[in-house]
Structures are given as structure tokens and as C-alpha cells.
Amino acid sequence: MNRAFALLWMLFFLSCATYHERAAKYYGYYSTGEWVKANKALESNRLLQSNRNQLLYFFEKGKLLHSMGVYDSSNYFFNLADVYMEDQRKTIGNAVVGTIMNPMMKPYQAEDFEQFMMHYYKALNYYYLGDINAALVEARRISLKEYALDDKYKRDKRYQQDAFSLIVQGIIYELSNDQNNAFISYRNAANLYIDNDGVYYNVTMPQQLQEDVLRTAYKVGFYDELSRYEGIFNKRFNRNLSEDPELILFVETGNAPVKVEKNLFFTMNSHGGDLFFADQNGGFNIPFNTAMMGSYSARDLNSLNIKSFRVAFPGYVERLSTVKSLSLQVDGTPTSLEKVEDINTLAFEVLRQRTVQELASTLSRLAVKKLIEEIAVKAAKEAAKKDSSKSQATAELVGLGIQLFSALSEKADTRNWQSLPHSIYYSRVKVKNDHSNIDVVVNGKVYHSFEFNAQDQLTIANYTITQ
């Protein structure tokens, strides 16, 4: 029996630790750019090596290898992630465990914006490897992902399109000299901003995107569209196109937010035969998810006379970036960097958009779990009545153990792809034919310098500032 309580105490300490805390060594090395140490910590982390976290491992390994410049191996793991998500390899056993115990026991499912980010890194990897055709495939898959989200959320005002991914898509089309599709991608990205009063998930429409829409419209001869968007953007496009080579530089800053566990308290009520949950502050009134009932009835649940439920629910905590100002100097000439993606805001908003739906499933799961727990305790006590007093004490201890295990095993899912950046900035700059000196200026000081040799008319690159 002492061993059983020892196991329960072990469960208690594990249940208190979030995913980030249990993978802190890996993320610590990653955030300081110590790639080799980060790789060793990733490979030795038992949590990330578990089957239910396989997708997260693929994401983290792919991102780490991208940061190390090992682009073919990076895409090997991103492709494994792709196959995993397409096949939806989730066993029935794990699904049942997650339903009865907690969602942390289920195989990790990627957030929609995490899938868009995977396409961004895969496209960059293929580009760096010189495989523009494979990069084009990733660009096209951005549209396929949007179509899938449109089918999934067509009646909801939820995150379905990613303006940054559409901009990346347009750039890849330009690299392959497909100006027509480049215009369509840029236009679709611009329309997202226009439809949302110029700001999309905390990103103001970049001036560079406006230039891209006008330039590609002009190049493919869509002069009516050119005039229309000149009016929308309130700017006149310069028809004298420069032939100087250009560099598009993405600068990724900071770290994505981490998930923590928050405790909410609800009561279960009955009205007209229907069950619903209400929180103490009256902010939520959530119907019972009847799909969770199984062989039980509303009468079974009502018989519990449950006063309140503690709900372990995930919430994000922002990791503030040390980057307060960011710009470039190209051969000594200051050039602005514009924010093009705010992953921190996306994470908070996407979770908020599905809060009620997830709370409904969580509360319904807890009610059924409580019913199963009561039945198990009652059965243990009934069996003990037919035996000795020693068995009675054992049964009571078993009942206590079931209740304690139930309380300790209730845990919010605090997993997410945490090596993603906080925000992404970009700039499209003219460079010299031979070489240019590029300085990344952070908080008024030169943070990183490199020489850029133009090999093509248009070149893309990304740079990471992890802190």
C-alpha cells in the first residue's frame, strides 16, 4: 500500500509540472542559440520521445535542424510531421485514455497556425537546397490548408487564413517567375487586411505588401486592378521598375508563448431535462455534450448532486521579447523592417476562439468521469460489506485512492510548439550586383552583420533572434 501512495505522490508532482517545465532544458538551450546542446537535450527528453508527443518532437527537431542550417534533415522531420498529421495516427486506446483522464494523454494535435508555420520552414528549406519546384509545392499547400479550414469553420468567424503565409506564397511564386499567381497571393493577403480595417491579428498591413500587389498587377497587365488598389492604398505606383537585384530578409524575434494550467470552477444544473454548466461569475453557460454520455443517462448524472467542478484549462503566458526596436542598414542606408506575423497574438486568439467548445467537452468529460468514480467506490464498499473488517478498511482505502488519483490526474493540456518565434519582420531591399553589407540593428545597436552577394534577381533569407 505504501508503494501505491508513493506512486500517487509521484503522479502529484508530475501533474503539477507543465509541458514547458518538463522540457525546460531543451527550450533553455534553444533560446540561447546553443544548438548542439539543445539537440542533445531534445533527444534525451523522455516526454518528447513519447508516442503521444511524436508530432511535437517532429516539429521541434525540424525547427532545430533548420536553425542549424541542416535543411535536408530538417525537412525529413517536417515531412514526418506532415505524414503524421495526414494519416491521423491516433490509436483508440489513447483516445479513450484521454477522454477518461485528461487531454495530455492524447496524441498532440497541431494548432492551425503551427501547420502554416511548418509550410513556411519547409519552403525555406527547399529554397536553400535549390529545389524551387518543391518550394512551389509547399506554396500551393498553403492554399490547400486554407480550403480545409474554410470547410471546417465556414460558419464561424475563426482563424482560417494566414496573411503571412499568403505573402510567403507570393514570394515563392515570384522566385519561379510566376507573376500571375504571385499577384493572386499578394492580393488575397491584402484583402485579409482590408476586410479587417487594415489590421490582421495585431499586424498592420505592411507597406511592402501594398507595393507587391501593385508591382505584380502592373507586370501581368492587370491595369484595372492596379488602379483599384492604388485607390484603396491611396498611393501611386512608380511604373519605372528598377532592375537592381533584391533581397527579402525575414527576421524572427523572441519566443512563442507557453501554456500554463488555469483552474476554473463550475456547477452542473438541470433545466427542462437538459444539463448545463455555469461558472461562479456567470460568464459561461455551457450545455452538456451528450456525445460524452456513453451508456449513462442524465438521471445518472443528476443523482450525483455535484456541487462544483474544478476544471484544469490551458492558458497562454507571453514570453516578452527583448527586441524593442528593429531595423536594417544596407550599405549604411537605414531601412525599416515591418512586422508580418505575430505568433504570440495568434496563439492567444486561436485558443480564445475555441474556449467554449473545449470547455463543453472538458466539463462533460469530468461529469462522466465523476460518475464512473462514484460507481467504482460504491462497488468497492459493497464488496467489502460481504467480507471482513480488514477488507472494509482496504475498500475504503481503495475508494480514497480512486478519488485522489482522479483529482491528481486532472490536468490541462499545456503542450505547444514553443520554439516558434514571437514575431516575424521582413524587408525587401535593393542590393548591389557584387556585394552589399547588411546590418541587423536591434534596440539601436548593430546586432549582426553579414555580406550579401547577389546571385539572382531575387533572393530570400531568414535570420533568427531568439531572445
21 C-beta neighbours (distance < 10 Å), count:
12
Residue 455's pLDDT band (boundaries 50, 70, 90)?
confident
Query: pLDDT tens digit string along 64-105?
Result: 999 999 999 999 999 999 999 987 654 444 444 445 556 788
Residue 206, pLDDT > 50, answer yes
Instruction: Over range 38-46, report the average pLDDT.
Output: 96
User: Residue 449: beta bridge partners?
Assistant: 439
Residue 13 burial class via C-beta count within 10 angstroms: exposed 0-12, middle 13-18, buried 19 and up: exposed
Separation between Cα atoms, residue 81 and residue 87, nearest integer Å = 10
Residues 49-69: tens digit of each pLDDT: 999 999 999 999 999 999 999
Over residues 135-148, the mean pLDDT reads 89
Q: What is the pLDDT of residue 275?
A: 63
Q: Which three cell numbers stand for residue 379?
A: 462497488
Contacts for 122 with CB less than 8 Å, ≥ 6 apart? 75, 78, 79, 138
Residue 8 has pLDDT above 70, yes or no: no
pLDDT (average), residues 395-414: 64
Confidence (pLDDT) at 12: 47
Please write down the long-range contacts of 214-218, taking CB distance under 8 Å and 24 or more positions apart: 215/241, 216/170, 216/174, 216/179, 216/182, 216/183, 216/186, 217/183, 217/187
Sheet of 326-330, strand order: 333-336, 326-330, 436-442, 445-452
Residue 217 has pLDDT above 50, yes or no: yes
pLDDT of 448 higher than 80? yes
pLDDT at position 467: 72
Sequence-distant (≥ 6) Cβ neighbours of residue 9 within 8 angstroms: none
Position 146 scores a pLDDT of 86
pLDDT at 97: 46
Say which DSSP state 227 is in.
Answer: H
pLDDT of residue 158: 85
pLDDT at res. 394: 61
Query: Of the candidates 93, 6, 10, which has an alpha carbon nearest to the alpha carbon of residue 51?
Result: 93
Instruction: List, as one string, the DSSP characters of 245-312.
Output: -EEEEEEEES---EEEEEEEEEEEEEETTEEEEEETTS--EEE--GGG-TT--HHHHHTT----EEEE
CA dist 84 and 88 (Å) reads: 6
- Identify the H or E element spanning 389: helix 389-409
Q: Is the pLDDT of residue 235 over 90?
A: yes
- pLDDT at 341 > cutoff 50: yes
pLDDT in tens, 431-443: 987 788 999 999 9
Q: What is the DSSP string of 122-170?
A: HHHHHHHTT-HHHHHHHHHHHHHHHHHHHHHHTTS-S----HHHHHHHH
Pairwise CA distance, residues 416 & 372, whole Å: 30
The end-to-end CA distance of the chain, in Å, is 48
Amino acid letter, residue 262: K
Determine the pLDDT at residue 409.
62
Contact 127, 460 (CB under 8 A): yes
Q: Is 274 exposed, middle or buried (0-12, 13-18, 19+ CB in 10 A)?
A: exposed
pLDDT tens digit sequence for 156-187: 678 889 999 999 999 999 999 999 999 999 99
Sheet containing strand 338-342, edge to edge, reads 338-342, 423-430, 246-253, 458-465
- pLDDT for the residue numbered 452: 87
Query: What phi and psi values does residue 164 have, to the nearest 5 degrees?
Result: -60, -45
Share of the chain above pLDDT 90, in %: 56
Residue 233 reports pLDDT greater than 80: yes
pLDDT tens-digit profile of 353-403?
888 777 777 777 777 777 776 676 677 667 666 665 556 566 555 555 555
- pLDDT attached to residue 152: 78
Residue 29: C-alpha distances to residues 33, 39, 95 (Å): 6, 9, 33
Virtual torsion, Cα 95, 96, 97, 99, nearest 10 deg: 90
Output the pLDDT for position 98: 46
Model pLDDT for residues 238-283, shown as the tens digit of each residue: 988 888 899 999 999 999 999 998 887 777 666 655 666 766 666 6
Burial of 87 from C-beta contacts in 10 A (0-12 / 13-18 / 19+):
exposed
Q: Please state the rounded mean pLDDT for residues 448-465.
A: 90
Give the three-class secondary structure for 361: helix
Q: What is the pLDDT of residue 17?
A: 77
Residue pLDDT, tens place only, 277-331: 766 666 666 676 655 555 555 566 666 556 567 778 889 999 998 899 999 999 9
Residue 223 has a pLDDT of 96
399 versus 114: the higher-pLDDT residue is 114
